[in-house]
Amino acid sequence: MADSSVDVAVYVGRFQPFHLGHLALLKHALSVAPRVVLVIGSAHQARSPKNPFTWRERAEMVRLALDEGDRARVDFLPVRDYYDEARWVAAVQAGVKALAGPPVSVALVGHFKDATSDYLKAFAGWSVVPVARVTAADGTALRDALFGAPARSIDATLAALVEHAPATTLDFLRAWVALPHFAELADEWRMLQQYKTAWAAAPYPPVFVTVDAVVRCAGRVLLVRRGQAPGKGLYAVPGGFIEARETVYQSAVRELKEETGLGLLDATMRRALTAVAVFDHPDRSQRGRTITHAHCFDLGDRELPEVAGADDALSADWVPVADLAALEDRFHDDHFHMLDHFLGLTAR
């Protein structure tokens, strides 16, 4: 029975995929209020082993797991990862307000799992309804089981997950793995596993340092298409790992030239440098803890310099800034958000 003092219950998750733990929390949210807003995080991202399902696919998994009456009580709110908690919280609250209409009483339903659950304390004006964990179901383990399964034993793998995910989710996955992108994601998952295994013997978890270059010229920005996993074929800004005897600036300019052929005079590049920002969110890269120093260069309205993809870039192109928002789900890792930081692509 819904609590008459609460108008809307909000439940936040990534649901990659939707499992029995999620279903239990959603059922609790439905018992708290007559209406539930399900916030689907990590929305609008390119498919990856960590985020293989689009927000619409995840919403469909949720709908399939509910009866008709409960479906009518749930609204879906896709929210992108801003890698900025204050901005993300504001986006969630604005989205809930838009769906719920006039000011209402809102309760946030969630499970305090670890440090990743601290966001539950960040919503001023909302009450929090903590819920104990009711199942050992875990999204990472489910994705690992799915991508690590031999091609001939997918059905057996899904059958073994019957105690972790609703039958409707397993049916959805059975159809989903037949789509072309599954094989590509499974290959990328294996590459990432090998990458992490190679660093497993390190005396402490490695922290990688990288550089990136956002180059703007005549209303366009210089992008590459990645030639290797992770993110093969996706858009990215030119960049790579820092070298031992370089400053972050020197590495950024070197990577820029290696991947795109852009080799302007050093004096020109130094005059064009407008900002440097550090992107250090713990979850920004699938390879592990990776801190990047992004350099923003503005070449003004001069003629576009010639560029060509090289090194580990399939291609290099000057893409109109006005086109970037429509390409959000085709970017590697947090590179769209890097561009958003410097170029203001999304509403604030």
For tokens 């003004």, the residue is: 300
- Per-residue pLDDT at 4 exceeds 80: no
Pick the CATH number of 208-343 from 3.40.50.1110, 3.30.565.10, 3.90.79.10, 3.40.50.970: 3.90.79.10
Task: State residue 325 phi and psi, 5-degree precision.
Answer: -60, -35
Domain extents in the chain: 8-182, 208-343
- The class level of CATH for 8-182 reads alpha beta
Record the pTM: 0.92
pLDDT by residue (tens digit) across 169-208? 999 999 999 999 999 999 999 999 999 999 999 999 999 9
pLDDT by residue (tens digit) across 322-337? 999 999 999 999 999 9
pLDDT band at 218 (very low <50, low <70, confident <90, very high): very high
pLDDT by residue (tens digit) across 71-95? 999 999 999 999 999 999 999 999 9
